[in-house]
Structure 1
Amino acid sequence: MRQILWFRRDLRVEDSALLENAKDEVLPIFIFDKNILGKLPKDDKRVTFIYKSVLSLKSKLKNLGLDLAIFYGEPKEIFSKLKKLEIDEILCSIDFDSYAKKRDKEIEELLPLRRFIDSFILNPQEHLKSDGTPYKVFTPFYKSLNTITQADSIALRKRNKTITLVDFDYKNFPTLEGLGFEESILPESLYKEPLELLSLFSLKLENYQENRDYFHKDATSKLSVHLRFGLISPSMVFNYIKRFSNSEFFIRELFWREFYNYILFHFPNSQAENFNGLDIKWNENEENFIKWCEGYTGVPIIDAAMKHLNETGTMHNRLRMIVASFLTKNLFIDWKKGEEYFALKLLDYEASSNIGSWQWGASTGADAAPYFRVFNPYSQSKKFDEKGIFIKSVLKELKDIETKLFHIENGVQSNLFVNYPKAIVDINFSRKRAIEKFKEAKK
């Protein structure tokens, strides 16, 4: 038996479905996919992080007596060549977004492809309602998983220690520059190992439920990028956090990620269509969309959040909800445009979670916010950043502004000594307009 172990978004040796199911001779590989990289800007921070993580995986595999062959190209072309090595099958983790399904179908025409649920805890084909249909609402979905969520731990996969390495050239692989990218400086958390981040987060767990919404506080786990690319498995995160008595709220958050993957699997059209089927006539004001993207809306919390995203590739979850509500309700611009922009910028971009979250904010998705729930960005910034700590850290030109002005519509603009653009939309008017348009769509 000769197998290719195709690492993709499971860049680890612990709790690895590939290493558990590997047999006899193996060729571990990673492919920097031209079809994906070709759409990214040359300074995309994710590529730096993935490249660093792939080299780390190679080192860890070598410590186990294995290695990693690293390729750059189109998967179909690469597997056409590898097929000549008398390969019996390919083992890989499964993805449910449209590109992944199309890519895997092409590869399966060349070689048998055996897929594993390795990026999530749940198999979305399971855990259906009693009538055999999938859940569409999170709370009953979560309650149905009681035997899992209330367990002390989830069994982890064990490595097959009897496998041997296929003779191959493992020494030659592309540089980051050879991929066409520049090395980027990453957020500090991305230079830490996942278990170190978990250890630090455990100290904050007691106050997590209360503090997680305050985006100027260091209250979150910072694990989203590591989970996205599989440097740690969700089961490992579950087991670590479950040791603490106050773990329930974080565990629930972990299963929101599972829920969105479950929804994308059962309703693949939701990647490009409103999940609830509403036919909404969105505003097509491109100028306002660009101002939202670049952080020039005249609303301090929106502008700070978007400029911070553009600079760092990160955004706090509360801020994601605020900017999504502003785009889809106040500007009444299609959620898909926001989703696509986040896909370009977010270090932790994951199709299922991003699509699900945007449809939640736009009131078009599974178990979404009701259409009449429109976040007021000024009251949100007052509630969660009253002293303007986050806003001032990003919008340096406003560092001397009286803080209360951040939380008043066009308040900053009332200061004659500051050149700050007028808000591009009236909050109350746009809120009423959004509600009326949703009512029309529902009819």
Structure 2
Amino acid sequence: MSYTAAPHHRSVAQALARARRLVVRVQAGALLVLMLLLVVVASPARGEVTERSATTFATAPDTPLPQRLSETGLLYGADGVPGRVVGADTLPFSPQYPLWSDGASKRRWIRLPPGTFIDASDPDAWRFPVGTRLWKEFAHAGRPIETRFIERLADGRWRFATYVWNLQGTDALLAPERGVRALPAPGAPGGLYAVPSRADCRACHEGGPSPVLGFGALQLSPERDPQVPHAETPPPGHTDLADLQARGLLRLLPATVAQTTPRIAAASAVARSALGYLHANCGHCHNHTGPLAAMDMALLQSVADAAGSARRTWASVYGKTSRFRSDRGDRGDDAEAQRIAPGRVDDSTLLQRMASPHVMSRMPPMGVSVVDVAGLQLIRQWILDHELSSPLKEHTP
């Protein structure tokens, strides 16, 4: 027996069919909107979108500092036992102009959140995504003493901490906020090591255009200065400027910089190394953008304007009268002292302060207790160099 649906039954069936088609269209439309949103979020403009997407991996501002170094993400081990193993997503690096730290050996690492990159549109002040983490290990006599840690939080601020290693070398504990002024450390000068306070960290890292020091276009240039004091051999698998660009971890670098190899503009090999030494050891405080800008002492070198920055350095130190009062005590007229006195080493207060044994007059003012003899000799030779008056003369090795 055949059955023919009643008219009202057919109307209900047709209404249900229309409803199903409407649901499908709505779902498809919602999917399209979602895909468009994903495209917008994934299309970074000068690093802004990258930072928003990175907040998933960034630490909330009110999160307490990890109590152990192994909890910061640098170290891990089997079965939860901390060990000195660095994750594959953590890149080692080595600046070509290292900071003098009483002869300590160092290792450094950086890690960016997945899917993010560094905005290098300002080649002298890279912008790092939130969630960026960096570590720097200090060691004496082959034994790690401390590892410093900086992290960009979800709100864009940076925080600093340092961790003191245990005797077994398996992990490190968070140091007090005030630091540790006399930590027993075999191999360190006098057998003691000073762990900086967090205020000390901020004093150095917040004095220039970027709180990340030693990780920029000049420091990571593939063309490394062969004569720099305390030159380091880059570790296996290290990253540099070219590698970061190849990995897509550094973008928006201006073509004028990307098409060249960053290098200090100098008259000679000695001048190049001297400017690099001052850049790394002094420039993070003595520059034209930080709290000490009024001193008009520009020791930070630029890759966007290498020649101009070299000239600015000369203008700010060469033949410039210094207000520093010599602690030698044998000068009759300290008002005539100069930051760099051409050919007159004894009148160069820059050299005097580097060589000073007194805490109140020594430069750098923190992080060192022993005079850097190699650095001192380099600056001395630079001052005695007869070609100082032509800082941009082309040098042929």
* Structure with the higher fraction of residues in strand conformation: 2
Which structure has more RCO (C-alpha within 8 Å, separation ≥ 6)? 1
Compute the TM-score of the two structures, normalised by the length of structure 2: 0.32
Higher Cα Rg: structure 1 or 2? Answer: 2
Compute the TM-score of the two structures, normalised by the length of structure 1: 0.30
* Structure with the higher fraction of residues in helix conformation: 1
